[in-house]
Every structure is written in C-alpha cells, then in structure tokens.
Homo-oligomer: A and B are copies of this chain.
Amino acid sequence: MATTITAVDVHDVRFPTAEAGDGSDSINRGDYSATYVELQTSSGVVGSGLTFTNGRGNELTCGAVRALSHHLVGLSLEGLDQVAFFRSLTADPQVRWLGPEKGVIHMAAGAMVNAVWDLRARLAGKPMWRFLSEMDTDELVNSVDFRHISDAITPDEARSILDKGRDGYGERLALLQDQGFPSYTTSVGWLGYPDEKVRDLTRAAYAEGWRAMKMKVGGEIDDDVRRARLIRSEIGPDALLMMDANQIWDVDEAIANMERLAEADPYWIEEPTHADDVLGHARIASALASRGIRVATGEVAANRVIFKQLLQAEAIRVCQIDACRVAGVNEVLSILLMAAKFGVPVCPHSGGVGLCEYVQHLAIFDFLRVGTSLDGRMVEYVDHLHEHFVDPVSVRGGRYLLPTAPGYSVAMKPSSVAEFSFPEGPAWR
C-alpha cells in the first residue's frame, strides 16, 4: 500500500554552543541550531529532515516549513513525479519571490525534501547512500531539475555519468567497507580558541590519526600567520592544512592575505570572499594557482545555479556541497553530476548540527556512482552534537565508517528535541 504523508511537524531546536567559542569564525557566532522536520505518514514510518542554522532566526526557517507544508500533507509517495515534487517546494508561485531558491525558504525546502528522501530510504530498508547508489540511472536522472542548468549539463550527460558509475561499483564498495571514507577535522582551529587550546587539539587530533586539518582565518592577518605556523609545526610538512576565511575578505584582500599564508603550505582556501561572488572566486583561484593553493567553496552557495557558475568559471577546485543549504537530495544530485562533468572533486561541508550525519551518505554515493574516485575527496568532520542523533556518525582514525541503519541518519532523539526546543525546552528556560 502506498505511503501518504499525513502531517508535517517542525521543531525549533537550538543548542547553546556560542558561549564555548565552538563554531566561531570570522563571520558567524551563534548557537548551533536545527529546523527539524518530522513527516508523519499513513504507514507509521516517520521521515526526518533538518536544516542547520545559527541560532537567532531559526524560527524563520521553521515558519517557512509551515508556509510550504501544505505541499506535503496528503502527498502519496507512489509514482511521485520528482521534478514536480521538487518544484512544488522550490518554485511555489507566491513564496518563490522571497528567494528565489535561496536563504530561508530554500533551506526550509531542503529540510523537507530530505525528510521525504529519508522516508523513502526507510521504507526501502536501506541507508541513504545505498538507496541512492542502487537506484536505476533513469530514476536518478528523473530526480534532477535541469531547469537553469541545461547549459552546463544535459539529461543525456547525466545518464552517461551514472551508467559509467556502475563499472567497478563492487570494488569501490568493498574498499569503503574495508577502510571507510577519508575525512578531515575542523575541531582544532576555531577562531575563538586561544593558541594553547589550538596546540593541544592539534596534537590530540594528530595522535588520533588525522592527517588533514582545517583552521579558521580572517582575524588579524598576523594572528592568522602565527596560528598557521603553530599548526604546521605540529603536523609536519606532509599532513594537509586547510584554511577557511568564511567570506570575510574582499577579492584583492584574499589574494594578498593568502600570499602571506602561503608559507604554511595551505591545501585550500575555503570561502575566501562573499558566497555570491563567482567572478571574485575565479580571480582568486587564478591568482593563487601558481602557489598550489586551491579555492574551495559551497557551504553557503545558495543553489545549483551558483554551483554551475563556480564550475563554468573555473572558480573552484574543491566543490563543497552542503546537504541542506540547497533544496535537499534532488538539488545535491544535480551538483554532484555537474562536479563530475567538470572534473572537480566533491568535499562536503559538514559540522553544524547533523551535517556529518547527512553528508557521509552523499560522499559515499558520489564515490560509488558519480565521481568514482577518492582522489582529493574528504568529508569534513567536527566532533560536536552527535550525541543527539539516533544513528550518529562513526569515525575512526580519520575515516567515516559506512552507515548501516535505514534512512538519512538525521533522526534526532526525542529527549534531545524536548530538552533543546526553543524557547520552551528545559535548556532554555
């Protein structure tokens, strides 16, 4: 019997992280939060999705879920036209004006789209990476909305990528089951941490097996240089050091500052300038190429149209998809396919609330069916807030182990939802 969605529940969940300096960078400082969506269904299986926010304003994404929820209530999963479903949430003829396809409404759509996919994977009894990886090529292609990206990728090109992704599938799966998915840690160098804490965390991470670490930059440049030297001296010349400016710099400033930071041999500079600045990223990428510094971005790229241009303009050499900034699995699919076509490795953005849980599935699927390589691929890892999830990530020796439970891994524990619901939960009273 077909499963029908009977209700859309949304929870404003906030964790008081700001005080500790966790998650602090040059631009953002707040309480890690989630707009947490639960789909009630006729079959009793619950679909879970969330979008990550930064504290104040989480009520807006919750409100946007409510404004869009009539598109899901009553929806039957049987024979669902994926593009029509996707557009019902991303191109509502009234709500679209508030974007289009960006910010509050698009993030809400992301939580909702993902909840539907979580539901589908649960009903199929498969973890999301397997649900996607075993899907027919045509069903995957039909899940992509090619509107506004057809100048970069066609359905036929997508089909060809996904069909080729069947070759060697078994070997790649065996490799992941044996070794897990490569990862890097961002827990060592938040901007709010004093030097001693950075040194201690770097040593501990190295001892745990991490050979790729990310630090925040964008404070006083002399401080950035000092911290970069400190971390590089701890990890030696061979480990990778990534830097993340969280958009604070102007274009010329980014180039000048990275020329100074080049002494610490950064592997990439992430978000060197404003997230919307495709041409600016392209100029920075071109200026830093001779120093071997890659430009990475994507966690705040609003939608597939921004990713399309970043790829067309050769502005990025690392494509940092986010699972819920864009409108969920359908839109991520389109970005993975474009990245594969343009030959740019995907290293998902993670951290926040539930982002590690989400993106492990996407990275695994990308390796198994789309990008089909581990070269330059790493999933970000941040050791925050995993205890609130029913099926949290499992990371050992710097690698993500394959999830085995059905679904998309972002179902939250009812006790955590109750404790941290804002403003009525005990944590906020």
Residues of A within 8 A of B (CB): 27-31, 53-57, 59-61, 63-64, 67, 91-107, 146-151, 247, 250-253, 273-280, 283, 300, 302-303, 305-306, 308-309, 312-313
Contact = CB atoms under 8 A, between A and B. Distances in A.
B57 A67 contact: yes
Contact of A151 (B53, B64, B283, B303): B283
A102 B106 CA distance: 11
Nearest to A306: B276
A98 B250 contact: no
A273 B149 CA distance: 10
A60 B64 contact: yes
Contact of A279 (B61, B302, B309): B309
Given A148-B280, A149-B250, 9 more contacts: A54-B93, A100-B275, A100-B300, A103-B105, A148-B250, A276-B276, A277-B305, A278-B309, A279-B313
A150 B252 contact: yes
Given A27-B91, A56-B94, A94-B54, A100 B247 contact: yes
A81 B227 CA distance: 33
Contact of A302 (B60, B67, B102, B253): B102
Given A95-B56, A309-B279, A273 B148 contact: yes
B27 A312 contact: no
B276 A97 contact: no
A368 B67 CA distance: 43
Nearest to A312: B279
A92 B55 CA distance: 11
Given A99-B103, A105-B103, A56 B279 contact: no
B93 A28 contact: yes
A151 to B, nearest CB: 4
Contacts of A280: 148, 151, 305, 309
Contact of A98 (B53, B277, B312): B53
Contacts of A312: 279
Contacts of A55: 94
A16 to B, nearest CB: 13
Contacts of A57: 64, 67, 94-95, 97-98, 105
Nearest to A31: B94
Contact of A30 (B94, B106, B250, B303): B94
Contacts of A91: 27
